[in-house]
Structure 1
């Protein structure tokens, strides 16, 4: 049975860990991010985390119900980092593009953590703040609620899906990632025009683009579509 999680101000250790730091939820999450970066997802266990923190592993259950609960906290911290310093400028399209790029970048800064968390719904403070922010930008721009929710859904799922896809590539061993990147030049660029005319015709463009993330282009396509819809709505209403 899962142990009850105690409020932060009640569960903070009175004595520092062996490393001299006072245990806290933030310290645990930061240490978990470092472990994921250094050892991958398989390296994140309660026992190893306790060792890295210089604390008894059982102490972690005063902060999290288990590794899955910690995973949700990690995902929420990544979203929080995307929101840091972001301010709406009053141009809904530019604001959403900036926010999308920030979310994507925050996850790619921790690719192993992104693979682990991008598909999760945390229900935590930063995630809720991000959802409120995106919906607010869309509703304030003039989108009806049903359209605002539809665009929000596409926007956030697209951002996280590309974050997971691109992070999975970055999380590969270096040799495997480089081998994948060489395929476009070593294989696709050499296909003959008589058997693969369309690939052969576009081969230089494929080589130039396919090893980069398609997220910026996909994000622009989504926002362009939303902008066209908003213009149509305004034309219909006569405004």
Structure 2
């Protein structure tokens, strides 16, 4: 079950602690954790190293977080917040959902080490909740019944985070390892003979052109196509009321996306 959301104001001490003239805060710890993950990976994110980086006693962390795992959940929530920052719905459900997916994917890839550790987690924090509300709002306002909105939401969120984790893992590899992996498509697959591997040989130039880039935009369009087909079927069956929701079904009112920008 998601943990209870605790507002940052309730997590702070009444008098914020200072370290080397710097006022400690939950946000400062999150930003420092992102930097340390980027530079050193998970092994660099320890209570002692965080304290050293901030010029603070290591135990200061526990004024804001239960431990490094709780800090990681906050880091994941920060990435969700960055994805939402500046986003506003346009009223075109497909454009809005596409934009949200690409923003989520990009926000995580900007911090590959953090993405690997947080993409599979559920924090129940404010930015994560705002992102979930935004996605569901787009789907329900488009006219999907609640059951279908939940189904598409599940696939949409898991797809975005799964590709974020996959692509982040590749970006987090040492440069030499990543370059070697990328070279395999040209050095091996492109040279397989049609006599033994006819299907690979036939598509090899296209594989070389595509396989070292993320498949997420393509997969996202496939998901949007599926959602559009579902929406068309629902409309054809007369299951939509103006503004979204279900006629006579559960949750007949539509959710609004206004204010979902986090």
Q: Tell me whether the two structures share a fold, i.e. TM-score over 0.5.
A: yes
SS at 2:212 equivalent: coil
Question: Residue 77 of structure 1 corresponds to which residue in structure 2?
Answer: 78
Matches within 5 A, 1:4-23: 7-10=10-13, 12-14=15-17, 16-18=18-20, 20-23=21-24
SS at 2:23 equivalent: coil
SS at 1:205 equivalent: helix
CA distance in 2, matches of 1:153, 1:78: 19
Structure 1 residue 7: Cα displacement: 2.6
Does 1:104 pair with 2:116?
A: no
CA distance in 2, matches of 1:144, 1:41: 41
CA contact (8 A) 2:74 2:123 kept: yes
SS at 1:132 equivalent: helix
Structure 1 residue 42: Cα displacement: 1.1
CA distance in 2, matches of 1:31, 1:183: 36
Distance 1:11 1:189, change over 3 A: farther
CA distance in 1, matches of 2:15, 2:28: 11
Matches within 5 A, 1:19-58: 20-58=21-59
Matches within 5 A, 1:184-223: 184-223=185-224
SS at 1:143 equivalent: coil
TM-score (norm 2): 0.86
Higher RCO (C-alpha 8 Å, min separation 6)? 2
The 10-residue stretch of structure 1 (20-29 or 145-154) with the greater mean CA deviation from structure 2: 20-29
Does 1:133 pair with 2:134?
A: yes
Structure 1 residue 46: Cα displacement: 0.5
Does 1:66 pair with 2:84?
A: no
More helix by share: 1
CA distance in 2, matches of 1:6, 1:234: 45
CA contact (8 A) 1:40 1:112 kept: yes
CA distance in 2, matches of 1:155, 1:198: 31
Structure 1 residue 238: Cα displacement: 8.5
CA RMSD for the aligned pairs?
A: 1.5
The 10-residue stretch of structure 1 (229-238 or 117-126) with the greater mean CA deviation from structure 2: 229-238
Question: Residue 123 of structure 1 corresponds to which residue in structure 2?
Answer: 124
CA distance in 2, matches of 1:115, 1:39: 13
CA distance in 2, matches of 1:13, 1:178: 46
Distance 1:238 1:132, change over 3 A: closer
The 10-residue stretch of structure 1 (41-50 or 147-156) with the greater mean CA deviation from structure 2: 41-50
1:16-46 deviation line (CA, Å, top 9, x unaligned): 312x320000000000000000011111101
Q: Aligned pairs, how many?
A: 233
1:90-123 deviation line (CA, Å, top 9, x unaligned): 0001000000000000000000000000000000
TM-score (norm 1): 0.94
CA contact (8 A) 2:13 2:63 kept: no
Structure 1 residue 235: Cα displacement: 1.5
Question: Residue 152 of structure 1 corresponds to which residue in structure 2?
Answer: 153
CA distance in 2, matches of 1:178, 1:136: 41
CA distance in 2, matches of 1:144, 1:234: 10
